[in-house]
């Protein structure tokens, strides 16, 4: 049974909005929870742009640019930039989704491109976070350690992954629109 194109465009717009909200909410939240920073003895939460004393606040005691391990700071900042780019692209795709609902369904190719770009930038963003967990990049001399090996992933990371999965659903809806029209 084929779903009418109008219903599919509404589904796309709704799912795209959900993806956008997940990305926007996930970016400032911690990517890592409750671990111990390399230079601190207190539990901390690490997001893209620094380390906070509490996982529910923005009270930074160290920004990503000031980490002792410059590689870790750079990777987290780059991941954050890609996450922001992903959110902007998701917003643009959502705008085109609204235009499609407003009877401009001939514009399926434009949001398709933006969804693909959102998927790529989102993948880079969360791959950067995963790389800081497992890559041995910090230490003294040749004794390199993985800075977040003992940290658990945070709520922000989960929301960004969820947003990425919802983008995959949006891509499937757009593909079904192209095939059915």
Residue 151 lies in a domain: yes
CA distance 181 to 3: 10
Pairing verdict, β 43-47 and 50-52: antiparallel
Residue count (the chain) = 181
Judging by beta carbons within 10 Å of its beta carbon (0-12, 13-18, 19+), is residue 132 exposed, middle or buried?
A: buried
| Each residue's pLDDT tens digit, 19-55 | 999 999 999 888 888 655 445 555 578 888 877 777 7
| Each residue's pLDDT tens digit, 140-156 | 555 555 566 677 888 89
Residue 38 lies in a domain: no
- Residue 119 confidence (pLDDT): 97
DSSP-derived secondary structure letter, 142: T
Residue 107: pLDDT band (50, 70, 90) is confident
Under the phi-then-psi rule, with left for phi > 0, alpha for psi from -120 to 50, and beta for the rest, what region is 140?
beta
- Residue 91 confidence (pLDDT): 97
Position 165 pLDDT exceeds 90: yes
Residue 59 lies in a domain: no
Residue 52 lies in a domain: no
Q: Which domain holds residue 109?
A: 5-29+69-179
Show contacts of 139-146: CB within 8 Å, 24+ apart. Answer: 139/69
Residue 37 lies in a domain: no
Q: Which of the pair, 131 or 180, is modelled with greater confidence?
A: 131
Residue 66: pLDDT band (50, 70, 90) is low
Residue 53 lies in a domain: no
CA distance 12 to 104: 13
Position 123 pLDDT exceeds 80: yes
Residue 41 lies in a domain: no
Instruction: Work out whether the CA dihedral 91, 94, 96, 102 comes out positive or negative.
Output: negative
- Residue 124 confidence (pLDDT): 96
Q: Domain total for the chain? A: 1
pTM: 0.84
């Amino acid at each position: 049974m084929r779903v009418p194109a109008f219903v599919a465009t509404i589904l796309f717009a709704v799912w795209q909005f959900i993806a956008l909200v997940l990305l926007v909410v996930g970016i400032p939240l911690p990517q890592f929870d409750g671990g111990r920073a390399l230079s601190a003895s207190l539990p901390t939460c690490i997001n893209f742009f620094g380390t906070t004393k509490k996982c529910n606040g923005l009270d930074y005691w160290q920004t990503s640019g000031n980490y002792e391990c410059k590689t870790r700071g750079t990777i987290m900042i780059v991941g954050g930039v890609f996450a922001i780019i992903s959110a902007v692209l998701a917003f643009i795709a959502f705008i085109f989704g609204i235009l499609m609902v407003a009877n401009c369904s001939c514009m399926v190719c434009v949001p398709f491109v933006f969804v693909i770009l959102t998927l790529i930038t989102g993948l880079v963003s969360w791959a950067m976070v995963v790389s800081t967990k497992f890559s041995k990049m910090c230490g003294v001399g040749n004794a390199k350690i993985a800075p977040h090996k003992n940290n658990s992933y945070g709520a922000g990371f989960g929301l960004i992954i969820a947003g990425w999965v919802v983008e995959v659903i949006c891509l499937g809806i757009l593909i079904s629109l192209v095939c059915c029209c």
